[in-house]
Structure 1
Amino acid sequence: MRTVLFRIFFYGVSIILVLCVPFAALFGGRFLRAYSNFWAWTMQWSLHAIVGARLRIEGTVPEGQLLFAGKHESYFEALELTRILHSPATVMKRELASIPLWGWAAQRYGTIVVDREANATALRSMMRAAQAARASGRSVLIFPEGTRVLPGEAPPLRSGFAGLYRALDLPVVPVAVRSGSVWPRKGLMRPGEIVFRFGEPIPPGLPRREIEARVHAAINALNG
C-alpha cells in the first residue's frame, strides 16, 4: 500500500512539474535549479510521510568546488544529492537526456551528458562540459559505477571517472549511500533509514589506479 500511494502521489506531482519545466526554464538556470530543489524536497517529504523513510547524514557536507563521487542504489540520491550539494552539474546517461522534455530540461539545468559505452569523441565532449561547469564555479557530481546497483553490489568504476578526475583537477569527496533497501530498483518500498556518508576529500593528481581504488572502497563503505 505504501508503494502504491507513494507512486500515485510522487509520480503524479512529478508529471505536473516536468510539464511546467519549459515555463520555469524561461527564468534562467538559477531558477531552474531552485525548481529542481523543490522537486527533490517533494520527493523527500513524500518518502518520509508515506513510506516511513528517514534520511541520516554521516560526516560533514563539505563546502567549496569539488568533484563528488556517489554510490547509486535508488532514484533518491540522484535528486536529493543535487539539493544537499547546492545544485552541482550532474553526470547523466545519454539515454535520460534523450527523453522528450525531461532531457531538454536536464541540459538546461546544466547536466553533463555521457554515453554508457563512450568512444573517445564522446569522452572529450563530456570533459569539455565538465570543464565548463568548473569554470562557472559549480561542483560536479558523478555516480562512477555507472548505474543503479543492488545493495551489496560493487561493480568496478567506469573509465570516464578517471578522465573526469584528471581533467577537473579538483578534490574528490566520496559519498557512500545505503538506499536500495528502502527504495529498491525493483519490488516494494519499505520503511527504514537511508544513509549518506560523506568521506574525507581526496586530493587531485593521484595515479589512476590509486584514485579508483580509494573512491571504490569509500563509496562502498556501507555495503553489508
Structure 2
Amino acid sequence: MERIISYPLSALYMLLFGLTLVVFHPIQWLCFNLFGYEAHRKSVALLNLCLMRCTHLLGTSYTFRNIVLLPEKGPAIIVANHQSMYDIPPIIWRLRKFHPKFVSKKELGRGIPSVSYNLRHGGSALIDRKDRKQSLTAIRDLGEYIEHTGRSAVIFPEGTRSRDGNPKPFRMVGLKVLVKSAPSAQIIPISINNSWKILRFGKFPYGLGAHLEFIIHPPVPATGCTDKELSEIEATIASAINKSP
C-alpha cells in the first residue's frame, strides 16, 4: 500500500525538487558573480533548506542530536557515514555556520543545476576516483583551504553510499590527508540513520515517512590525531548506526 501511495507523491516531489534546482541555479550565479562569497554561501544554505522542505511531501522528517557538542567555530572536518544524497542538504543547512565543503566525485561537477555550480565554485574538492594522485591533491588543497579560512570539509570515508544502512569500512587515506592539511581543525564525527529508506524501493517511487537522524559525537582535535584515534572515530560513528537485518 505504501508503494502505491508513493507514486503520485513521488512524482510531485520530483517536480518540486527539479524546479528548486532550476530556480536556484541563476540565483547562485548572481550571488557569486555580483555579490561575492558570502551571498553565494547564503544562497546555497537556502537552497538546501528548500530541498529539505520538498522531502516533507514524502513524510520525511529530520532530527539532529547533540548539537551542543559542536565547536563554536571552525575549521572543522565533518566525518560521517553515507546512506544517500539526502544526507547532504541537512548537513549544509544545519551546519551552515561552518561553511561545509564536500569531497565529491568529479562527475557531480557537471550537468546538475545548482548542485554542480556549487561544487565547482563553492570551494569543494572534485576528485577523480580513478586518479589517486589527482584525488589526494584535491583533498590536500581542500584541507589547506579550510585551515586558512576557518571553514569545514565534509568527507564520507566509506567512498560510496550504503544501500541498506549498514556501514561500510572507512577508507582512511583521504581523511588522513585532510587531518594533516588542517592541523588546527576539530574532527566532528556524525552518525546518519535512515536516509537510505527514502530510496528503499529504488530510484522510483520514493520511500515514505523516513525519519533521518544525525547524531553528533564529541569533536576530536586533528592535531596529533593518530591512526588509532581515527579508527576509534570510525567505531564511534558505526556504533550509533541502526543496522538493517
TM-score over 0.5 for the pair = yes
The structure where helix makes up a greater share of residues is 2
Contact residue 81 and residue 158 of structure 2 kept, 8 A: yes
Report the Cα offset of residue 181 of structure 1: 4.3
**Do 1:22 and 1:105's aligned partners in 2 also have CA atoms closer than 8 Å?**
no
Matched residue, 2:44: 36
When residues 148 and 181 of structure 1 are mapped into structure 2, their CA distance, relative to the original with a 3 A threshold, is: closer
User: Is the CA contact (8 Å cut-off) linking 2:41 and 2:122 kept in structure 1?
Assistant: yes
Mapped to 1, the partners of 2:146 and 2:195 lie a distance apart of: 30
Correspondent of 1:153 among 163, 166, 172: 166
1:201, 1:151 → 2: CA distance? 27
TM-aligned CA deviation for residue 144 of structure 1: 1.5
Please, which of 200, 210, 225 is the counterpart of residue 192 of structure 1? 210
Q: Deviations over 1:150-180 (max 9, x none)?
A: 2333222222112212221222111100133
TM-aligned CA distance change 1:120 to 1:173, over 3 Å:
same
Q: Secondary structure at the match of 1:174?
A: strand
Amino acid at match of 1:88: P
* TM-score normalised by length of structure 2: 0.81
Matched, 1:83 2:93: yes
2:186 alignment counterpart: 171
The amino acid across from 1:96 in the alignment is L
The answer as to 2:137 corresponding to 1:106 is no
**Which whole-Å deviations, capped at 9, do the CAs of 1:53-105 have from their partners, x for residues lacking one?**
11111112513212110122122221220121122222221111243765344
Residue deviations 1:103-160 (CA, integer Å, cap 9, x gap): 3442211112222244234412320232122201212211111222223332222221
Question: Aligned partners of 1:91 and 1:151: how far apart in 2?
Answer: 22
Which residue number corresponds to residue 73 of structure 2? 64
Contact kept in structure 2, 1:177 and 1:195, CA below 8 Å = yes
1: CA distance between counterparts of 2:138 and 2:100?
18
The question of whether the paired residues in 1 share the 8 Å contact of 2:146 and 2:152 is answered with yes
Match of 1:54 in 2: 61
- Percent identity, aligned pairs only, is 21
Could you tell me how far apart the structure 2 residues matched to 1:121 and 1:153 are?
Answer: 29
Q: Partner residue of 2:142?
A: 129
Partner of 1:183, secondary structure, is helix
Is it true that 1:24 corresponds to 2:39 in the alignment? no
The answer (yes or no) to whether the contact 1:54–1:192 under 8 Å persists in 2 is yes
**What secondary structure is seen at the aligned counterpart in 2 of 1:17?**
helix
In the alignment, structure 2 segments of 5+ residues that lack a partner are 1-7
For the aligned residues, what is the CA RMSD?
A: 2.1
* Larger CA deviation: 143-152 vs 169-178: 143-152
Equivalenced residues, count: 222
